[in-house]
Amino acid sequence: MKRTMSRISICLFALSLILYIVMLLGNDAYLLISVVLAVFGLIAGVFSEKGLYKRIGLIGNGALVIVTIVIPLIVTTFFWNTP
């Protein structure tokens, strides 16, 4: 079961990365799907088997969540708050 979670986490990372790249190329409809898949991949990575796949899933999905949620939230809240 844990090995399956590792593979699911890797697959969700790859799919969310592809969708994020498509979003950067101009189709903004894929942003929400990419973020949701990255969050699910991060959760699956937490419950997966120790090893390389777990690290790839956690680091990859975590990086996508940071780039798509945390950094824009910080920038719009603290730096880009003038009308």
pLDDT digits (tens, 9 = 90+) for 17-61: 999 999 999 988 999 999 999 999 999 999 999 999 999 999 999
Output the pLDDT for position 83.
Answer: 66
Q: At 6, is the pLDDT very low, low, confident or very high (cuts 50, 70, 90)?
A: very high
What is the pLDDT at residue 64?
Answer: 94
SS3 content of the chain, % helix, strand, coil (to 5): 85, 0, 15
Model confidence at 81: pLDDT above 80: no
> Which is more confident, 81 or 61?
61
CA distance 45 to 13: 10
- How far out from the chain centre does Cα 43 lie? 10
pTM of the model: 0.86
**Domain ranges, ordered by start, for the chain:** 2-79
Determine the Cα angle at 73 with ends 69 and 75, to 5°: 125
